[in-house]
Structure 1
């Protein structure tokens, strides 16, 4: 194949590898956009997951063991946090190094970016599933079980699945779509809203992480073919 040629109007022919400089520029720019976005989302995911351990900002419930099992799993840390931040750090560093074409556009770096993006995608997917389960089951709280004819008085537990008889449709209708039932939880104060807001944030963040990670997987695969540098 003949070498690339240029004119006053810019590049007109393909490079020796069959890839236009515009494609390589697109790959590098995509990395510089996706990387910082994933950094922000990974940080937000970790913050939301950690806050679930401290209802209302109090630490005593964590020390007493009165935190829901889904919050204790901290999916926003090991799922939507650490893998995403590792991928985001590499992608961001790679993207900005490519701005000056400082020997960064190797296929090996693009391959590493693709692998880390796949791990980030899997971590975000796990966070999405666990956050959805945590949101559906509701929080662990101190509630009056006698109101549901259980005859146990006030106790710590998961009132919303019990109140709905373990029927998913009824549970969703009673819990998520009927805010009047939230007052059944006596302690921690405002735990239901705390649980709903933070798990909802984790759901939205994990979806955004999966989308961006998937885009970077495609971008990394393209980088394996044509490199990442812009100034060739």
Structure 2
């Protein structure tokens, strides 16, 4: 069964990628490698757990199904030998759809996070301004407006 071998290979590659996504989402809870003093220092999108739920948990299920697909040569059901293989392929399609939904959720959360940008210790550049934790990029200026980046201070400078 050629598709079973490919499914096993796909399952083997999905498991480390899912674990990597979970670890990356956990690292987002520690901005700058430090423990956040306040939850206000962490962006709202981190709490949507796109890496843990979407790319992690929802990818483990298809990976495990794909790993077991090659060994699923069951005897069939109701006296029909091909019924077992059909059921195995049907479940692989269902779990592949679960994986696509997880990837879509993770993609949408990531796109919103890039659009909104990170929170930073921000000062608007004037001498009388007091720096505070805020999100100066909330209008979608994170990738385009480089002058806003200069107002962000490092966590170590705060």
Same fold by TM-score greater than 0.5: yes
For 1:148 and 1:130, the matched residues in 2 are separated by: 34
Max Rg structure: 1
**Residue equivalent to 2:38:** 64
Residues 139-193 of structure 1: CA deviation (Å, up to 9, x unaligned): 1121113x279x75211110223xxxx3x4x55321xxx4x75343224359xxx
Aligned residue-pair number: 149
> Runs (4+) of structure 1 moved beyond 4 Å?
101-105
Q: Among residues 39, 43, 49, which one is paired with 2:15 in the alignment?
A: 39
For 1:83 and 1:148, the matched residues in 2 are separated by: 47
1:184 aligns with 2:151: yes
Give the SS at the match of 1:188: coil
Q: Higher helix fraction: Structure 1 or Structure 2?
A: 1
TM-score of the superposition, structure 2-length normalised? Answer: 0.79
TM-score of the superposition, structure 1-length normalised? Answer: 0.56
Give the SS at the match of 2:132: strand
Higher RCO (CA < 8 A, seq sep 6+): 1
Give the RMSD, CA atoms, in angstroms.
2.7
Q: Among residues 80, 85, 93, which one is paired with 2:60 in the alignment?
A: 85
1:154 aligns with 2:131: yes
Task: Give the direction of change, closer, same or farther, for the CA distance of 1:103–1:121 in structure 2 (3 Å limit).
Answer: same
Give the SS at the match of 1:156: strand
For 1:45 and 1:26, the matched residues in 2 are separated by: 29
